[in-house]
Amino acid sequence: MQRYILSRLFQSFIMLVGVLFIVFFMLQLTGDPVALMVSRNASPEQVEELREELGFNRPVMVQFADFISKAVRGDFGMSLRHNQPAMELILERLPATVELASIALLFAMVVGIPLGLLGGANPGSIWDAFARGAGLIGQTIPNFWLALILIMVFAVNLGWFPSFGRETWQFMGLALPTKSVVLPAFALGLFTMGQLVRFTRSAVLEIKNEDFVRTAYSKGLADWRVYVKHILRNAAIPLISILGVQFGYLLSGSIYIETIFSWPGLGNLLAESIGNRDFALVQAIAFFTSLVVVSLNLTADIAYGMADPRIRYGEQ
């Protein structure tokens, strides 16, 4: 197990170095990063001044070394727009994104897993049709459009939920979610819900035919017991890694949803900083979300290895 964890850790470390490399050289893609950052009607003197100030007049490799040495200490430079360290801004916005992604994942799990189980248990039934429909809908409705429709129907016409912004409920020093999270979380979580339905359904269909299920039935166990104790438990192992990946997707994929609902999270900050051509902040966000996603994958992999010995021994 130790070797397995160490090799996973090493892989994650290499990945993050790769990310830093990509994030740095992406800005060089057009040849002149400073030209990207200034407004179109800036004078050549102003451009030179900024180049000097940000250190872009040095050789690229020197810039890269400087970038790396600061980045490993969490310093991605100052946001030009907010005049505040980029990392500080990110940490300020993080709680909102985590709240949104967690509730979206919760919704996806609570609806998706039981529906997949019901569909897989009774293929061809009305539940199955429902499950397959939910899977297809999750895959085919773009979340940015769904968000607009939800605002039109539930915020403007019915007035049940606020159409934008985040409100929290302060309780014992904690900022708890209020109904302002319902629409964005639904729009964000629908895709994941569809994925979970599809996955659970096909896992159940597959596991149902295994020998141990027949044994469980022949012992005289009740239907629900077989499903919960034998089938779901076996489907749960691969589900761990899917949930890890999906949580990463939700945390990093909320750009549209946060923009549409003016949700004060990381995705909104990213869209905003792109609009402001604030590339130090864009780099920092890209690295930070990669860090979060890579750590989530690492955690899921380790949990998977603990739950299923075949994985950790297969690696060696």
Contact pick of 72, 156, 176, 228 for other proteins (by CB under 8 A): 156
Phi, psi for residue 84 in degrees, rounded to 5 = -150, 150
The answer to whether 142 contacts other proteins (rule: CB under 8 A) is yes
d(CA 265, CA 102) in angstroms, rounded, equals 13
Mask 262-301, x = binds other proteins (CB under 8 A)? --------xx--xx---x--x--xx--xx--xx--x----
The answer to whether 52 contacts other proteins (rule: CB under 8 A) is no
The answer to whether 6 contacts other proteins (rule: CB under 8 A) is no
Listed ranges 89-97, 101-109, 199-207, 223-231: which one lies at the site for other proteins (CB under 8 A) = 199-207
d(CA 139, CA 132) in angstroms, rounded, equals 11
The answer to whether 218 contacts other proteins (rule: CB under 8 A) is no
- The residue (of 234 and 259) whose beta carbon lies closer to other proteins is 259
Contact pick of 10, 145, 212, 313 for other proteins (by CB under 8 A): 145
> What does the block give as tokens for 51?
């180049």
Least distance to other proteins, CB of residue 297, Å: 6
Number of chain positions touching other proteins (CB under 8 A): 51
- The residue (of 47 and 245) whose beta carbon lies closer to other proteins is 245
d(CA 1, CA 170) in angstroms, rounded, equals 42
Which candidate, 183, 106, 105, 188, places its Cα nearest to that of 144?
188
Listed ranges 38-46, 107-115, 142-150, 210-218: which one lies at the site for other proteins (CB under 8 A) = 142-150
> What does the block give as tokens for 187?
């729009």
The Cα angle at residue 95 between residues 92 and 99, in degrees rounded to 5: 155
Contact pick of 36, 65, 68, 176 for other proteins (by CB under 8 A): 36
The answer to whether 202 contacts other proteins (rule: CB under 8 A) is yes
The answer to whether 10 contacts other proteins (rule: CB under 8 A) is no
The answer to whether 252 contacts other proteins (rule: CB under 8 A) is yes
The answer to whether 29 contacts other proteins (rule: CB under 8 A) is yes
The answer to whether 200 contacts other proteins (rule: CB under 8 A) is no
- The residue (of 33 and 74) whose beta carbon lies closer to other proteins is 33
Which candidate, 240, 217, 218, places its Cα nearest to that of 229?
217
Strands 78-79 and 174-177: what pairing? unpaired
- The residue (of 122 and 222) whose beta carbon lies closer to other proteins is 122
- The residue (of 123 and 264) whose beta carbon lies closer to other proteins is 123
The residues of the shown chain that bind other proteins, judged by CB under 8 A, are 14-15, 18-19, 22-23, 26-27, 29-30, 36, 123-124, 136, 139-142, 144-145, 148-149, 151-152, 156, 202, 205-206, 209, 248-249, 251-253, 255-256, 259-260, 270-271, 274-275, 279, 282, 285-286, 289-290, 293-294, 297
